[in-house]
Amino acid sequence: MTQHTVLVAQISDLHIKAGGKLSYGKVDTLGALRQTITTLNNLNPRPDIVVITGDLVDFGREDEYQTLRDALQALAIPYYVMAGNHDDRQQLKAAFADHSYLQQHAERVEWQAECGPLRLLALDSSVPGQPYGELAAESLAWLEQELSQQPERPTLVMLHHPPFASGIAHMDRQPLRHPEALAQVIARYPQVERVLCGHLHRSIQLRFAGTLVCSAPGTSHQVALDLREEGPAHFCLEPAGFLLHCWTPQQGVVTHQCAIGEYPGPWPFFHADGTLID
């Protein structure tokens, strides 16, 4: 790694509950977060920052945010939080009152931050009380203004709701409304290296407005892969993961999908003399 490399880990859809309660009666989301933190802390080199792209907790409750904050104390990397449809803006801001970047907007969880040469712009696509997402006209104007101010600066634009249809029908019924409005802004600014989102609890990529959109897997449960129109709203416990976005001046952003947890290995491909192990 060069000294100019910037490593941004993206985790998403933590859905933390209070009091050890399981999500949907099945998923130990807090245990999954603890495992995620261990995996992140053990990365070598460690990421410069972690961004959490929404659905921090399950029902937007104060005690859930307190449980989350307590768990995040073990994370040895600076982190930034964003709002998803399961979050409550007021409760989120109260729980993270010491996160000064959250004061950039009085109501929404919208902020800009810098990580070395890289810029991060977080949009709040949550709509209070609704599962779908929407960006306010003011949010799009703010995005345009921020992008126009530093057109040479490589930038990650982030929002919880994906601005595309995934093919998973029950998720596509709670989409980002009017994604074309976001696309019109993004298309004008080639410094946007990625649009990063969550919500889908799966790693999905597609071309969007001249850049690449990546949705992150969930840290605990995943949305079941079911591309039938009548597919039910089901989740599963496939291996959980996160995304690691590695920026270098030579290549821009390279994104790795990473598994959470411990697995056998690593083992060498080669003998000490350099020959391939047969």
Site residues (CB under 5 A) for Fe ion? 13, 55
Q: Where are the alpha helices (DSSP H) in 82-152?
A: 89-95, 137-149
Query: How is the chain split among helix, strand and coil, in percent rounded to 5?
Result: 20, 25, 50
Q: How far is the CB of 218 from Fe ion (least distance, A)?
A: 6
Q: What angle do CA 256, 189, 101 make, to 5 degrees?
A: 70
Closest to Fe ion by CB, 76 vs 233, is 233
Return left, alpha or beta for 116; rule: phi > 0 is left, psi -120 to 50 is alpha, else beta.
left
Structure-block tokens of residue 189:
């600014």
Q: How far is the CB of 130 from Fe ion (least distance, A)?
A: 14
In the complex, minimum distance from the CB of residue 221 to Fe ion, in angstroms, rounded to a whole number: 9
**Closest separation between CB of residue 55 and Fe ion, Å?**
4
Q: Of 13 and 193, which has the nearer Cβ to Fe ion?
A: 13
With a CB cutoff of 8 Å and minimum separation 6, the contacts of 257 are 203, 217, 241, 242, 243
Asked if 253 and 154 touch (Cβ cutoff 8 Å), the reply is yes
> Nearest approach, Cβ of 262 to Fe ion (angstroms)?
25
Question: Considering the complex, what minimum distance in angstroms separates the CB of residue 84 from Fe ion?
Answer: 6
Residue closer to Fe ion, measured from CB, 55 or 193 = 55
**Residue closer to Fe ion, measured from CB, 39 or 222:** 222
Minimal distance, residue 12 CB to Fe ion, in Å: 7
- Which CB atom, from 128 or from 190, has the smaller least distance to Fe ion? 128
Cα 109 to the center of its chain, rounded Å? 14
- CA dihedral (196, 199, 205, 207) in degrees, to 10, reads -70
H helices of 125-274, in order, are 137-149, 169-172, 179-186
Q: How many CB atoms lie within 10 A of CB 207?
A: 9
Nearer to Fe ion among residue 93 and residue 160 (C-beta):
160
Nearer to Fe ion, 4 or 173 (CB): 173
Give CA–CA dist 87/64, Å, rounded: 10
